Structure 1
């Protein structure tokens, strides 16, 4: 059986998954393989076990579990998700992490892309246009600095579907955008991903104890990520319920007013 999933094809053969990258996304297969091998060494059992890698094809073990997206994410699996994230963020020793390439789309590169998107915005109604105007004003005055940065290994994808619950623990899949990151940026990406609120609010960042500078950085990074989703959801998609874009507009305005 094969399913086309955005950037790759997945083939399932018993307990083995073969992931074939099909869109030429630079470095994606290499990042996936690096993540699987690092986690196999430093956090065994948290993710699929690597089997083989060649010419953009990654073979790995298949792990049991139901994606958290679409579930009624209650206290037990949410606690297990926070535990899995903590394990991920603490898994790679600092000396090893320092040699891991930075993951794609870190904050400053993303901020530049968001400015381009919003500068090219076409009117979508008073509330949406106000969110864009306020977003551009915020970006123009944004001075985040490096306060509150704690290097971690990040999965690079906030989709709740990448967290598999087997009734006892949560494990993580999909590492094509993984790499060296920082704790707060990863939490912000997770918190603002559409999958974390479209079917019912899931708040994960408050499961982590953050310093004052980290809390301020989280607010900054969440605002940035909310503007990403304002643009992405402006292109109506049948994958999301009707009204999702309007809900995102209100999330952006609340974030910028906070």
Structure 2
């Protein structure tokens, strides 16, 4: 068994946005299957703690919706173990309850893809793992599930909620400021311009194109590359607490536009998406979803507190450039 000892904590990293969206989805909640090959005390992430054993992981969900997330994760692990054994941890405990929102699962080997160069072999293995999530489970199974978190209309609503705060910081002040001297602007002009361009695109694009009659898939719900473990041959997947019924295009865009896909050694998004041979309709859907997710990330990163930054300097500017590049694509 191998494991990555450098990813034992989710308290740092360039993808931790401000606490403005009410959810840790998409932040650096790197999952239960990383850490040194020793047993030890609980390790805390934003939405859960984990207890690492030699062959098992105990994941205790916490927070207001802990029971819901624990149930969603157990359901996904159970289904994947039956239809795609070895792709994800095997659930070893009974279905979690409201009073016991925890899961005992098998501990996987491998190192997170995040932070390592993603060469052709790793890229193919990542695509194969994602495709297996989407194709191994019959569509009738996720069709009976509640939708995953972070659907397009939810992202658009969060963007509209965050936009006034971004614009206020770009000009100095806060969105609810009514009097008093205006503090200096804390958002660079290029970031503010990219947010405005993104909002103009969103206004022109809504309602966003839907998935049409494409069958639902098991949605992982968190595109952080730290959730994908490479063992030298294949990729396995962890952290299904945000899972639910989804569509393939959203899941693919979630991976390519997660900040982990470019903040370190980059994922070749075009090469990754080409592995799935999307048809013209799905390609258009992917283009819209990638722009939406990039704008959502930018609004969150732009609101990072300059007095106590959670991200390296220039992170929002790099995200702004990424959004502008996506908007410029035909």
Q: TM-score range by the shorter chain?
A: over 0.9
Task: Say whether 1:162 aligns with 2:227.
Answer: yes
CA-to-aligned-CA distance 1:75-101 (integer Å, 9 cap, x gap): 111111111011001121122221122
1:248 corresponding residue in structure 2? 319
Report which of the two has the higher share of strand. Answer: 1
Task: Say whether 1:101 aligns with 2:146.
Answer: yes
- Correspondence for 1:136 among 199, 211, 218: 199
Asked if the contact 1:67–1:164 (Cα under 8 Å) also holds between the matched residues in 2, the reply is yes
Asked if the contact 1:148–1:214 (Cα under 8 Å) also holds between the matched residues in 2, the reply is no
Counterpart-to-counterpart distance in 2, 1:189 and 1:82: 13
Secondary structure in 2 matching 1:19: strand
Task: Say whether 1:76 aligns with 2:121.
Answer: yes
* TM-score of the aligned structures, taking structure 2 as reference length: 0.75
Secondary structure in 1 matching 2:108: coil
Asked if the contact 1:223–1:252 (Cα under 8 Å) also holds between the matched residues in 2, the reply is yes
Q: Give the CA deviation at 1:254.
A: 1.6
Q: Give the CA deviation at 1:232.
A: 2.3
Counterpart-to-counterpart distance in 2, 1:176 and 1:217: 25
CA-to-aligned-CA distance 1:211-258 (integer Å, 9 cap, x gap): 101000000000000011102222168665432221101111122222
Asked if the contact 2:116–2:265 (Cα under 8 Å) also holds between the matched residues in 1, the reply is no
* TM-score of the aligned structures, taking structure 1 as reference length: 0.95
Q: Give the CA deviation at 1:10.
A: 0.5
Query: Cα–Cα, structure 1 residues 231 and 81, in superposed 2: closer, same or farther, change >3 Å?
Result: same
2:209 corresponding residue in structure 1? 145
1:66 corresponding residue in structure 2? 111
**Across the two proteins, how many residue pairs are aligned to each other?**
258
- Which stretch of structure 1 is more off in the superposition, 52-61 or 31-40? 52-61
- Which stretch of structure 1 is more off in the superposition, 200-209 or 126-135? 200-209
Asked if the contact 2:219–2:244 (Cα under 8 Å) also holds between the matched residues in 1, the reply is yes
Asked if the contact 1:190–1:196 (Cα under 8 Å) also holds between the matched residues in 2, the reply is yes
Q: Give the CA deviation at 1:146.
A: 2.0
Task: Structure 2 unaligned segments of length 5 or more: list them.
Answer: 1-39, 171-186
- Correspondence for 1:210 among 278, 284, 291: 278
- Correspondence for 2:249 among 184, 187, 190: 184
Query: Cα–Cα, structure 1 residues 95 and 45, in superposed 2: closer, same or farther, change >3 Å?
Result: same
Asked if the contact 2:162–2:300 (Cα under 8 Å) also holds between the matched residues in 1, the reply is no
- Which stretch of structure 1 is more off in the superposition, 92-101 or 43-52? 92-101
Correspondence list, 1:2-13, <5 A: 2-13=42-53
1:173 corresponding residue in structure 2? 238
The higher radius of gyration belongs to: 2
Report which of the two has the higher share of helix. Answer: 1
